[in-house]
Structure 1
Amino acid sequence: MISFNKLKPALLEEMTEGEIVKCLKELSQAFTQSRHKIDDVYASPKHISSYASFYLPTNMYKMAFLLKQLPNELIEGIKNSTVVEVGTGPGTYLFGLLEELNCEMTSFIGVDHSPLMLKQAEKIHQSLYPCSDITWRSDIPKLPGRKTYIFGNSLNEMGHYTGLKLVNRNKADIVICIEPGTKSSFKEMSSFRSGMIKDGYKVIYPCSGEGECPIIKLDEDDWCHQVVRTKLDDSIERLSQLIKLDRKTMPAIIHVYTKDKVENNRKYQVVRLVKNIKHAFLWEVCFEDAGEMKLVRIELMKKIYKKKEVKALESMSTGYEIDFTIDKKIESNHWRVKLTPEVLEKIVNKK
């Protein structure tokens, strides 16, 4: 991922660390407490530069996390399409794709309503990715051929209805959504999921099928989201500490849809880390059974794992696919299981 030191020469404004910290605190307040001030901070080159210096490199980790969950044939489908990011900001997820896939032959289009964000994205593009085919614009163009659309923290702003119209009007082949990991965002994304399935799209991530979400069906006071855990570059970590904002653990709601003939072979999706008790890990997983999406609590006994394996399991996140054998069905929705060797190796080696 990009470090702050690498980004610094590509920012719109040359700023001291103190100025960046001040602007980041104001941005954080606008995002969480004073939404009416967002347009004001987006009109300031210093705030845009500060946003790019901190939120761009940390949000890029979400794209890296997602790509590890996707089948290779879908990734090839992304690389062989024109990729459009709606609400690109300073180019966050387009640059994330470039960093992870080295897809220099892919054409990209970044769309944003903020002229300063586009100006910032263009400067980073020319400074760090000068050979990449990226166009920056304020509107969504009509495009021929295969298309991948990315919604980066923009669906929750425009609403699911507008998002569905945009997808259908532009005949998207692949749709990626990376949205805030909040309860309100989950409600919006659930409506979007229902609409996408109705319009003929398959869910590739996070669900293993197109059945009704069991969290909604059971009317649980919870929401399905992923948690992206990162190890920050020292320069980003320092900014994080100065503004007292944790970016090592980032909740997000990430969905991927396609009309391509891609098989969804996902087994069990970890949706909740219930408890870490003395003798076991208690997790909740979602899976498809005869066309129905179900939730089951699983119990992993610590005594059967080595010390380094237990340590790795302690840092597990929601959003990962796992597979296991069932040792005992304690109840119909509570199983004692053993992870497959392949899954355990991936968790230990953080693949």
Structure 2
Amino acid sequence: MRSNFESLQEYLLNPNLSESEFKKLLLTISSNFTSHREKIEKYVLSSQMVSAYALFYIPTNYPKLFFLMNQLPIEVRETIKTCDFIDVGTGPGTYLLSFLDFVEEKLSLGQRVFGVDQSSLMLEQAEKITNGLFPDLKKSIRFQKNRKELSSELGDEKKKKMLFFGHSLNEMGVSEADKWVDDCDPHFVSFIEPGTPETFKSILAMRKIMKEKGYKVLYPCSSLDLGCPMDGTKDWCHQVLKVTHDPWVERLCQLVSKNRRVMPMIGHIYSKANQKSVVPEGVQKGTLVRVLKETKFSFQWQICLNLDEGIKRNLNHSLINVDVLKKYYSKKDQKILKKVSVGEVVFLNKVKEVSAQNWQVEIVDFKNWIKKIPS
């Protein structure tokens, strides 16, 4: 993953943005996102605001796509790498750029990458940064303002597509996102949205729509036939990405008093086709939904699992509290477990069932880490 964004500033619409100007502009943008939502569109009305937004949010949001892709089986990731990529609400090109990095700057013959945004300034900024950071790929990258322009560009070609919503579902709403899916007819649909209770409601609505359209869920759920155990509760399903930024990015975060080392998000991926991963006998696949606490003998987590008895009991996935026993791991591996992000897909062996909702377990793999799963 690209970590050196120090050249980013030279490709801003306003490359001479001073530190004090950046701080003032970003604090205004942040205020509009939180306490003044009615003013949210103002951040795209000036080249200065667009530049400040790009300088801060591109390097800090960039890792989210990699985190999401890393939760998928390798064969699915390789298929996605060959798809046309449509970034809806691309802004300054954050996730479009991240996708180009994800494919290691190697697009297959005829593969196209699209950035769509209703803001002309944002598209201008996205094109300038993309051409600056990925000059060899600019012939394969197109920018459009709306669905109509995109449909004209796509034509009748039946190439596999990934439709990607990056912090745009919460802006456009479920109804508009539904239209995008119908118009683009993508093989994959992915969301990265703010990790808030309000956004979770929209994601649940989209989850239902994707099931009705015949899609399968790849992440974070195991099946669309099972309900979410957090639906109808005060809790909400989200991921928490832990990341370390370059020193200059950390300085920007300090300037505006924002912690971007720990980032809540809601990520979902759907596919038209079944994408079955092989899980060895005796091993359970689940998603880490909460880190509870660490004791002398274990890491205590909450895992969302698809249990056969759960299907009969309540038609929901099951939330299980697990003790990940430290005795199975070296000090080095314990340090890795200590840094795990909420939302990681994990594979586990049940060592002991203390109760129906409380197990002692051994984590045998996550994100190609320990690789103790037998072949």
TM range (shorter): over 0.9
Q: Tell me the equivalent position of 2:9.
A: 8
| Residue matched to 2:180 | 166
Percent identity, aligned pairs only?
Answer: 37
Please tell me the residue identity of whatever aligns with 1:72: I
Structure 2: distance between partners of 1:276 and 1:100: 33
Task: Return the TM-score normalized by structure 2.
Answer: 0.87
> Which of 312, 317, 322 lines up with 2:341 in the alignment?
317
CA distance in 2, matches of 1:185, 1:204: 19
Structure 2 CA distance for aligned equivalents of residues 46 and 171 of structure 1: 36
Residue equivalent to 2:241? 228
Alignment equivalent of 1:306, drawn from 315, 326, 330: 330
Asked if the contact 1:4/1:53 (under 8 Å) is kept, the reply is no
1:214–1:295 Cα contact (<8 Å) kept: no
The range that moved more, 2-11 or 195-204, is 2-11
Distance in 1, matches of 2:124 and 2:305, equals 44
Instruction: Select which of 199, 202, 207 maps to 1:188.
Output: 202
- Offset of residue 334 of structure 1: 0.7
- More divergent stretch after superposition (325-334 vs 301-310): 301-310
How far, CA to CA, are the matches of 1:301 and 1:38 in structure 2?
47
**Greater Cα shift, 253-262 or 271-280:** 271-280
Contact 1:228 1:251 in 2 (8 A): yes
2:307 is aligned to 289
- The reply on whether 1:127 has 2:117 as its aligned counterpart is no
Contact 1:326 1:337 in 2 (8 A): yes
Q: Quick one: which amino acid aligns to residue 163 of structure 2?
A: Y
Displacement, 1:325? 1.6
Partner of 2:81: 79
Provide closer, same or farther for how the CA distance between residues 294 and 320 of structure 1 changes in structure 2, counting only shifts above 3 A. Answer: same
- CA drift of 1:76 comes to 3.0
How far apart, in 2, do the equivalents of 1:16 and 1:210 lie?
49
Query: In 1, distance between residues paired with 2:30 and 2:56?
Result: 11
Residue pair 2:346, 2:363 contacting (<8 A) in 1 also: yes
Q: Is the 2:82–2:107 contact (alpha carbons within 8 Å) kept by the matching residues of 1?
A: no
* 1:275 match: 293
Q: Secondary structure at the match of 2:230?
A: helix
CA-to-aligned-CA distance 1:291-327 (integer Å, 9 cap, x gap) = 5522111112334433333322222211111122212
Shift of 1:85: 0.7
For the 8 Å contact 2:324–2:361, the answer to whether it is kept is yes
Deviation at 1:125, TM superposition (A): 1.6
Cα deviation, residue 45, structure 1: 0.6
Counterpart secondary structure, 1:5: coil
- Counterpart in 2 of 1:151? 165
Who is 1:330 aligned against?
354
**1:41, CA displacement in angstroms?**
2.2
The CA distance in 2 between the partners of 1:280 and 1:315, in whole Å, is 14
Q: Shift of the alpha carbon at 1:166?
A: 1.8
Conserved? CA contact 1:202–1:258, under 8 Å: yes
Aligned equivalent of 1:118: 123
Aligned to 1:104: 107
**Over aligned residue pairs, what C-alpha RMSD do you find?**
2.0
- Provide the C-alpha distance between the structure 1 equivalents of 2:70 and 2:367, rounded to a whole number of angstroms: 16
Return the letter of the residue paired with 1:346: W
For 1:176, give the aligned amino acid: S
Aligned partner of residue 292 in structure 2, secondary structure: strand
Q: Which residue of 2 aligns with 1:136?
A: 143
Q: Secondary structure at the match of 2:6?
A: helix
State the distance in 2 between where 1:40 and 1:214 align. 36
Partner residue, 1:243 = 256
Task: Give the C-alpha shift of residue 39 in structure 1.
Answer: 2.0
Structure 2 residue 65 is matched with structure 1 residue 63 = yes
Deviation at 1:37, TM superposition (A): 2.0
Structure 1 unaligned regions, length at least 5: none
Aligned residues: 346
SS at 1:19 equivalent: helix
1:7-31 residue CA offsets vs partner (Å, 9 max, x unmatched) = 0110000211221122111111111
Q: Partner letter of residue 46 of structure 1?
A: Q
CA distance in 2, matches of 1:237, 1:274: 27
Bigger mean CA deviation after superposition, 51-60 or 309-318: 309-318
Cα separation, partners in 2 of 1:79 and 1:324, compared to 1, 3 Å: closer
User: For residue 282 of structure 2, what is the aligned residue in structure 1?
Assistant: none
Q: 1:20 to 1:311 in 2, by over 3 A?
A: same
Counterpart of 1:280, as a letter, is S
Runs of 5+ consecutive residues of structure 2 not aligned to the other structure: 280-284
